[in-house]
Structure 1
């Protein structure tokens, strides 16, 4: 009988496994957690981690890229809904609740940092059709632009300082309600009158 060879995972599978492990570690311990925890969680050697990701920033950037890809998938799934803009905001807030440390990393990065510029543009372009549809439906003020999303996402992230998932979810809902009211076309009229 011939011994069966164990098939090693391909690079893409190994990369996804490492990102899943890093995401779980960073959710629990923050983005400055020892990378040894990522290695342990993934069940790989250090060399495997460093072959895929030369440093912590490379891991964090890959996690942000993956989050952006998932946002794009969500936008595609919601594209026919008139309220897709707010559904995407709710999706983002859930991601922020799940991984506040990654959100902090995203928010604290400089807007001019070239490592993140392409991701910001991707997020803006992902939201743009949903924003235009919401504006056409009269759900969002006409002066709101896709570039304003960096500010809105930053506001969401800053609001989610609860100590438990339940508290962060409550704060997320409250922040989303405030953002929704502030984006309504009649909100502009109220601000002018005051």
Structure 2
């Protein structure tokens, strides 16, 4: 399997990235794993020109948005993570996803037909970290909002979300908690499981 990790945290050793690394490290070595730090990319914002529809590349000058869209389109599984910023994902994550529309779904030129997801049956997982403690982290304007934004992205692509992780009260933590590591390992198992074993 080709498994793509999209890390939207600017903190490469923070709790979002650290939890994603727990998933990555629990994968079998036979898989091809690609790790992208979104904050390091050069991606111009979507201009809303609709020229990418129904199934074309973005017409903006070549940048990292084109490259990552191809990686998304051809990955067998996807793990996305973003820290919670004002109950949502980071700006760079949002910019990348807006530019990756045709890597996730096919939309008719008219926009009047239902979009066709391009990743039906493929697996995905979600990670976020926030400073709010549980149960406050589960409010829509906290980590639940970031999870919802990422779930909307994956739902558009037709992914089967095998798990999601909220690392709450992150400011008070020292290292990844054991229960989060255990959950990350379970997600890794689900990401790489054969269809018959699910």
TM range (shorter): under 0.3
- Kindly indicate whether structure 1 or structure 2 has the higher relative contact order, using CA contacts under 8 Å at least 6 residues apart: 2
Q: TM-score when scaled to structure 1?
A: 0.28
Name whichever structure is richer in helix by fraction: 1
Q: TM-score when scaled to structure 2?
A: 0.27
Name whichever structure is richer in strand by fraction: 2
Please tell me whether Structure 1 or Structure 2 has the larger radius of gyration of its CA atoms. 1
